[in-house]
Amino acid sequence: MSERKFLRSAAALAGLALLALAGCRDSGGEGEHFELSGRLFVFNYRVATVRYMVTLRPLKPAGEGEVAVASFENPAGGQAIAVRQKIWPLSEKVTIESPPLECVVKDRPYKVSIVIEGAKGEQMQLIETTMVSSQDQSMVPDKPLVVGPFYDLNPEVKGHPDGRLPQGRGVNCPPPA
């Protein structure tokens, strides 16, 4: 076989392989636009915060104007925490992070639901899951250990290098269920 014929055959096989892989890319069911690719509680000891974080992976190209609306169960009780996140059409993932939380309890499942909305506000997909923390919020200091862009020591915790204050965080958490 001539070198030229060999290269043509190799190129044709590579093209077929790419077509086969492209056909396998859309692993979502009918109507699924995203899949949950990650979920965790983010504990930042230095600034004394705990947050929910979820990531979504697109199964289909995202359209212009799509939004993810996440509803996180509030560990402190009361209304769910809602977060709206714009979806950028060319992004490989969508990251949704809650504001700081209070009262997170280890090993307790918390409900999370994410609605993918189209440009006109219509619901395109609903993703429901639960999240469980492997740590309790009591491990986080009562106040941030550092403040400002240069991570200066927080004057509020002077004399309390671990960030634990006599009055605590000042939050009344519901009793564990």
CATH topology of domain 34-137: Immunoglobulin-like (2.60.40)
Tokens found for residue 92: 């490989």
Whether 134 contacts 156, CB under 8 Å: no
State pLDDT tens for residues 128-167. Answer: 999 999 999 999 999 999 999 999 999 999 999 899 998 8
**This prediction's pTM:** 0.79
Torsion angle of C-alpha atoms 161, 167, 173, 177, degrees rounded to 10: 80
Whether 97 contacts 83, CB under 8 Å: yes
Would you list the domain boundaries of the chain? 34-137
Task: Check residue 30 and give its pLDDT.
Answer: 64
Whether 66 contacts 119, CB under 8 Å: yes
CA 6 from centroid of its chain's CA atoms: 48
